[in-house]
Amino acid sequence: MNEANQLNAAWYWIALLIYFAVVLYLGWRAFQKQKAITNEEEEHNDFWITGRSQPSYMVGMSIAAGWLLMGFMTWMSWATYEHGISGIWIAVIPWFILLFGMIFLTPRVRCLKAISQPQMLHNRFGLPARVLVSPMNIFCFIIWSAAELYAVSLIMAPSLGIPVSWMIVIFSLPVAIYMWMGGFRSVISANILQFFMAVIFMTVVAIASYVVARGIAAGQGTSVWAILQNQDLVNSFAYPLKEGAKASTLFGYISIAFPLVSIVALLPGWLIEEDWWLKAQSAMNTREARKGIFANLIYNVIWVLFCASFIGLMGLIIFPPELKDGVLGSAAILGDTGGYNVIATFVTEYMPGWAKVILIVLLSALSMSTVATFTNVCAMNLSYDILQPLWYRKKKWSDKKIISWSRGISMFIVLATIVIAELYENPNIGASLNDGYYLSSGVLTAGVAVPVFALFWKRANLRGVMFGGIAGGIGTLIFYILEYKVWEFSYNMPVFDWIFGPGALAGTYLGYCVVGVVAGIAGLIIGTYTAPPPSPELLAAVSEEPCDDHIEFFEGVRKTS
Q: What average pLDDT score do residues 338-346 get?
A: 93
Range of the domain at 326: 3-423
| Residue 196 sits in the same domain as residue 211 | yes
Question: What is the per-residue pLDDT across 194-250, written as a single tens digit (0 to 9) for each?
Answer: 999 999 999 999 999 999 999 999 999 999 999 999 999 998 888 888 888 999 999
| Residue 482 sits in the same domain as residue 522 | yes
The pLDDT score that the predictor gives to residue 7 is 53
Q: Is 281 within 8 Å of 115 (Cβ atoms)?
A: yes
131 vs 141, 384, 387, CA distance in Å?
A: 16, 11, 10
1: pLDDT strictly greater than 70: no
Q: What average pLDDT score do residues 272-283 get?
A: 97
The pLDDT score that the predictor gives to residue 21 is 96
Q: Is 544 within 8 Å of 111 (Cβ atoms)?
A: yes
| Residue 145 sits in the same domain as residue 262 | yes
| Residue 104 sits in the same domain as residue 193 | yes
| Residue 208 sits in the same domain as residue 122 | yes
| Residue 452 sits in the same domain as residue 315 | no
- Mind giving me the DSSP string for 81-133? HHHGGGGGGTTHHHHHHHHHHHHHHHHHHTTB--SSHHHHHHHHH-HHHHHHH
| Residue 418 sits in the same domain as residue 431 | no
- Find residue 232's DSSP bridge partners: 246
Cα separation, 224 vs 38, in Å, equals 62
Number of domains in the chain: 2
- pTM for the full predicted model: 0.94
| Residue 294 sits in the same domain as residue 327 | yes
For 470-520, the three-class secondary structure string (H helix, E strand, C coil) is: HHHHHHHHHHHHHHHHHCCCCCCCCCHHHHHCCCCCHHHCCHHHHHHHHHH
CATH number of the domain that residue 266 is part of: 1.20.1730.10
Cα separation, 475 vs 320, in Å, equals 41
Coil vs helix vs strand at 283: strand
Cα separation, 55 vs 189, in Å, equals 12
Question: What is the per-residue pLDDT across 368-403, written as a single tens digit (0 to 9) for each?
Answer: 999 999 999 999 999 999 999 999 999 999 999 999
Phi, psi of 436 (to 5 degrees): -60, -35
| Residue 506 sits in the same domain as residue 466 | yes
- Does 440 reside within a domain? yes
| Residue 230 sits in the same domain as residue 284 | yes
DSSP 388: I
Cα separation, 382 vs 405, in Å, equals 11
Residue in 522, 447, 493, 526 with CA at minimum distance from that of residue 261:
493
Q: Is 413 within 8 Å of 379 (Cβ atoms)?
A: yes
User: With b meaning 16 or more CB within 10 Å and e meaning fewer, what string describes 153-175?
Assistant: bbbbbbbbebebbebbbbbbebb
| Residue 326 sits in the same domain as residue 474 | no
Per-residue confidence band for 4, with pLDDT thresholds at 50, 70 and 90: very low
Per-residue confidence band for 6, with pLDDT thresholds at 50, 70 and 90: low
Cα separation, 380 vs 38, in Å, equals 22
| Residue 369 sits in the same domain as residue 254 | yes
- Does 542 reside within a domain? no
- Does 200 reside within a domain? yes
